[in-house]
């Protein structure tokens, strides 16, 4: 038997009971519903760029996705079809709506501290921190020093970066410190060395990630490359990947999972854009050995469409994922489990540009049919551990 844990990054389904404590541009996330609002927009003909009509997700719907959405937020999205998979809605307890919080808790470890967030001011960073950036990079200053989206940062500061050599440093509503630099004018390796050298200082502050954001091009035509690298805090206690590896099993990371968990409990990493990652996941369905865990993250829902509030693009990506998923399910072995979930929301119809606090779907192929009800994020890890026959050390409970 094998387990495949697949995270559709940011595909929330609304209904978080504490959404009023999380904000976008000062507005609480109450009522945010990534999947539900995309369904509504498609039904109204308001998501017609590159696609058309109602959102078409036959594979995910057959597993119970819309039933899970109804359970999370009562939106009456499902029809009378009985799902062929197990389905439910998961609620997070960690006090963050970010990538590490969601993934750590899905892997059995609710975040045991409050993350440090930088104020939405200019400058956003304390002087001693920017001085450290300058010392490590050997430069006389930094650019931006504020909250902002990556594409806007390149448009506003890219030309000055090439002229001065100063790195572009910015943050968001997440606990992150991001550094953008040109791969040719600054050099990719120099950027990676800078982020790696700065990470220990930020991790002591409980900043979740330092993110290298390399780009190429010329003023007016800058493009981020696929050489992004996250330097995340190492989980302070063992997580699902450790439980599986410690039992003598192999663990594959697809996408940014290796970065999120700083390679703890991971044997092999396969990276690329989402199209490449789908190919890697497909290969592992054929190749992964008995008893193994494959942990995958498909980030472009979030990075390309959620943060950019692109409803049509998000809908297109959901339909692409659904079509690809159909071929994967047909090749699972009889005793495999494939569990699909998300780490947070990022409602593309919402105000602002940041994540939204939501419940997430849990739909499972290979473990029978029917609802698993309202569960916790950590129950995902416990369930996968139970399926693989390895010991669970977290607070979650298996729904098997």
Chain Cα centroid distance, residue 139? 32
Query: What are the Cα distances from residue 267, in Å, to 173, 241, 356?
Result: 32, 9, 32
Q: Assess whether pLDDT exceeds 90 at residue 81.
A: no
Annotated binding-site ranges: 9, 302, 307, 343-344, 355
Q: Can you point out the beta strands (E) in the chain?
A: 3-8, 23-24, 27-28, 86-91, 143-147, 168-171, 176-182, 209-218, 221-224, 229-232, 251-254, 268-270, 293-298, 337-341, 360-365, 370-376
How far CA 29 is from CA of 342, 356, 366, in Å, comes to 17, 6, 34
- Torsion, Cα 172 16 104 332, to 10 degrees, reads -120
**Interhelix angle 127-137/188-204, nearest 10 degrees:** 150
Q: What is the pLDDT of residues 211-242, one digit of tens each?
A: 999 999 999 999 999 899 999 999 999 999 99
pLDDT for res 76: 79
pLDDT of res. 79? 83
Instruction: Summarize the confidence of residues 105-125 as an average pLDDT.
Output: 96
User: CATH 3.40.720.10: which residues of the chain?
Assistant: 2-112+236-388
Which residue from 217, 236, 235, 234 is spatially nearest to 225, judged by alpha carbons?
217
Mean of the pLDDT values across residues 60-71?
97
Whether the per-residue pLDDT at 151 is higher than 90: the answer is no
Q: Are 130 and 123 in contact (CB under 8 A)?
A: yes
Q: What is the pTM of this model?
A: 0.93
Residue 75 confidence (pLDDT): 78
Longest dimension (CA), the chain: 64
- pLDDT tens string 309-337: 999 999 999 999 999 999 999 999 999 99
User: How does 252-273 read in b/e, with b if 16+ C-beta sit within 10 Å?
Assistant: bbbbbbbbbbbebbbeebbbee
Select from 3.40.50.300, 3.40.640.10, 3.40.190.10, 3.40.720.10 the CATH code of 2-112+236-388.
3.40.720.10
All CATH 3.30.70.1250 domain ranges of the chain, comma separated, are 127-232
Cβ pair 144, 153 in contact under 8 A: yes
CATH of domain 127-232: 3.30.70.1250
Percent of the chain with pLDDT over 70: 100
Distance CA 284, CA 280 (A): 6
pLDDT band at 74 (very low <50, low <70, confident <90, very high): confident
Question: Does residue 168 carry a pLDDT above 90?
Answer: yes
**Cα dihedral 141/145/149/152 (nearest 10):** -50
Cβ atoms < 10 Å from Cβ of 370: 14
pLDDT at 20 over 90: yes
State the pLDDT at residue 66: 96
Over residues 80-92, mean pLDDT: 95
- Does the pLDDT at position 84 exceed 90? yes
| pLDDT at residue 85, as a whole number | 97
Give the whole-angstrom CA distance, residue 26 versus residue 2: 44
The SS3 assignment for 358 reads coil
Structure confidence at residue 45 (pLDDT): 98
Instruction: State the Cα–Cα distance between residues 269 and 256, nearest whole angstrom.
Output: 9
Question: If you average pLDDT over every residue of the chain, what do you get?
Answer: 97
SS3 call for 360:
strand
Q: How far apart are CA 247 and CA 243, in angstroms?
A: 6
Confidence of residue 276 (pLDDT cuts 50, 70, 90): very high
* 169 φ, ψ (degrees, to nearest 5): -115, 125
pLDDT (mean) for 177-181 = 98
Mutual orientation of helices 311-329 and 34-43 as an angle, nearest 10°? 110
- Quote the pLDDT of residue 389: 98
SS3 at position 51: coil
Q: Tell me, what's the pLDDT at 149? A: 87
The torsion angles phi and psi of 33, rounded to 5 degrees, stand at -160, 90
Q: How far apart are CA 29 and CA 351, in angstroms?
A: 9
Residue 53 has pLDDT above 90, yes or no: yes
Helix (H), strand (E) counts: the chain:
13, 16
- Confidence band for 101, pLDDT divided at 50, 70 and 90: very high
The annotated binding site for Mn(2+) is made up of 9, 302, 307, 343-344, 355
Residue 256 near residue 297 (C-beta atoms within 8 A): yes
Reduced to 3 states, what is the DSSP secondary structure of residue 50?
coil
Residue 229 to residues 111, 171, 293, Cα–Cα distance (Å): 22, 15, 23
């Amino acid at each position: 038997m094998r387990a495949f844990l697949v995270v559709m990054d940011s595909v929330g389904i609304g209904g978080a009971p504490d959404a009023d404590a999380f904000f976008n541009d000062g507005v609480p996330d109450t009522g945010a519903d990534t999947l539900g609002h995309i369904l509504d927009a498609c039904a109204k003909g308001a998501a017609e760029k590159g696609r058309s009509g109602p959102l078409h997700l036959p594979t995910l719907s057959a597993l119970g996705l819309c039933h899970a959405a109804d359970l999370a937020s009562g939106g009456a999205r499902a029809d009378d079809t009985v799902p062929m998979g197990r389905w439910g809605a998961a609620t997070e307890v960690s006090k963050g709506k970010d990538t590490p919080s969601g993934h750590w808790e899905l892997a059995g470890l609710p975040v045991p501290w409050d993350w440090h967030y930088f104020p939405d001011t200019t400058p956003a960073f304390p002087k001693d921190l920017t001085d450290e950036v300058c010392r490590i990079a050997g430069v006389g200053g930094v650019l931006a020093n504020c909250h902002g989206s990556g594409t806007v940062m390149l448009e506003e500061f890219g030309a000055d970066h090439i002229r001065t050599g100063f790195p572009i440093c910015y943050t968001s509503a997440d606990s992150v410190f991001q550094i953008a630099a040109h791969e040719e004018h600054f050099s990719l390796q120099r950027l990676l060395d800078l982020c790696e050298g700065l990470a220990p200082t930020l991790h002591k502050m409980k900043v979740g990630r330092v993110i290298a954001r390399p780009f190429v091009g010329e003023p007016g035509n800058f493009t981020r490359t696929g050489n992004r690298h996250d330097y995340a805090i190492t989980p302070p206690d063992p997580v699902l990947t450790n439980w599986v590896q410690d039992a003598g099993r192999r663990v594959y990371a697809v996408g940014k999972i290796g970065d999120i968990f700083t390679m703890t409990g991971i044997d092999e990493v396969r990276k690329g854009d989402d199209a490449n990652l789908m190919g890697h996941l497909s290969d592992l369905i054929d190749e992964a050995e008995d008893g193994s865990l494959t942990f995958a993250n498909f980030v472009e829902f979030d990075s390309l469409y959620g943060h950019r509030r692109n409803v049509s693009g998000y809908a297109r990506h959901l339909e692409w994922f659904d079509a690809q998923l159909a071929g994967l399910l047909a090749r699972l072995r009889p005793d495999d489990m494939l569990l699909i979930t998300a780490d947070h929301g990022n409602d593309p119809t919402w105000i602002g540009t940041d994540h939204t606090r939501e419940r997430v779907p849990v739909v499972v192929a290979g473990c029978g049919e029917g609802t698993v009800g309202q569960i916790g994020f950590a129950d995902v890890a416990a369930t996968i551990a139970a399926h693989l026959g390895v010991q669970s050390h977290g607070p979650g409970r298996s729904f098997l």
